[in-house]
Amino acid sequence: MVKIWTTLVFLVVTAGTAVLLSAASGLRRRAVQRLLDKPKRPQPRIVSYAMIWRELVSRIGSVMPTSAKDLPRLKKRLVRAGYRHPNAPRYFQGSRAVSIVVFGVLVVTVAGGTAGQTDNLVLAVIAGLMLGYMAPNQYLTMAIRRRQHAIEKGLPNTLDLMVVCVEARLGMDQTTLQVAKELQHAHPEICDEFTVMNLELRAGKRRADALHNLAERTGVEDVKKLVAVLIQADRFGTSIAQSLRGHAEYLRTMARQRAEERAAKLAVKLVFPIFCCVLPSLFVVTIGPVLTRLIRDVIPMIENM
């Protein structure tokens, strides 16, 4: 009797397991079939006006003639401004062409509405075209100055962190890499330059060449002095930490002297705003009532005489 019940339980369990496996297999097959039969919806194309503008400027720049003599200088200026893309000169040339057209159309619209003479209109159009040609160059110059100022501002803090890393027995390559990681948010410009220098060192360049390239890319006088200090310390075997500490102190002294020089020039620079803006209002307040009384009292007396 026990054997019969055991056999029945075994058969029931086996049948139930087979049914469950079949159901699970059917569910899996139907799920796979739904995934295979599901039509793929076309992804909507997101229109990016920035990409359209970039493509337009790139194509216009590729058509614009570029002097082979001026191209290296343009690339150097773009790198100093922070534009390292290989097609940056093409974008710049395209932006210059678009700027010429925009300024020309704007001048024609404004000057044409004033109904001026033909000669004046031609001169205005020529001036607008020249302004459109010079505007991208001026913007690039401003970008270079702004980036160089940011590098000069962050260089003393960078040197202090380099001193800490060198005194912690890190090599020069590891020091620059660690500084580039730690100060990425505080001083991103100089950290980007250190990152590029580390990539050049990994590519097999000599340290002196990588440092010279760093000074050439930035165009900052303080960075050139730092490069000279590092090259001399590496060549003659002197203490890099002492050299960096002394150079950081020198940079802070120079920054303080420049601030004192600007403060000393402030009195002379304030003469013209005071003369043009403050003195006229002061004359109106002090002499105005006297002139009013003279006009009101003295002039009638003179007329009566």
pLDDT in tens, 30-58: 766 666 655 555 555 555 667 777 777 77
Residues 240-250 have a mean pLDDT of 86
290 located within any domain: no
Q: Tell me how many domains the chain contains.
A: 2
Which of 74-78, 106-110, 129-133, 211-215 has the lowest average pLDDT?
A: 106-110
Tell me the CA end-to-end span of the chain in Å, nearest whole number: 154
Residues 6+ apart with CB under 8 A from 142: none
Amino acid 236: pLDDT: 83
Confidence of residue 2 (pLDDT cuts 50, 70, 90): low
Note down the domain range covering 71: 49-145
| Interatomic CA distance for residues 105 and 125, integer angstroms | 8
Amino acid 49: pLDDT: 67
* Span 265-281, pLDDT tens digits: 888 888 888 888 888 88
Q: Say if residue 129 is in the same domain as residue 176.
A: no
Q: Say if residue 207 is in the same domain as residue 128.
A: no
Q: Say if residue 160 is in the same domain as residue 115.
A: no
260 located within any domain: yes
**0.75 cut: is pTM over it?**
no
Amino acid 19: pLDDT: 63
| Interatomic CA distance for residues 260 and 51, integer angstroms | 47
Q: Say if residue 154 is in the same domain as residue 140.
A: no
Q: Say if residue 158 is in the same domain as residue 123.
A: no
Length of the chain: 305
Q: Say if residue 175 is in the same domain as residue 116.
A: no
Share of the chain above pLDDT 70, in %: 81
From the number of C-beta atoms within 10 Å of its C-beta (0-12, 13-18, 19+), residue 279 rates as exposed
Q: Which residue has the higher pLDDT, 13 or 81?
A: 81
Average pLDDT along the chain? 82
Amino acid at the residue 247:
H
287 located within any domain: no
Amino acid 283: pLDDT: 79
Q: Residue 119: in which H helix or E strand, if any?
A: helix 118-167
* Span 195-215, pLDDT tens digits: 999 999 989 889 899 999 999
Q: Say if residue 153 is in the same domain as residue 261.
A: yes
Q: Say if residue 183 is in the same domain as residue 211.
A: yes
Residues 116-124 have a mean pLDDT of 74
8 A C-beta contact, residue 230 and residue 246: no
Amino acid 278: pLDDT: 81
88 located within any domain: yes
Confidence of residue 240 (pLDDT cuts 50, 70, 90): confident
Amino acid 290: pLDDT: 79
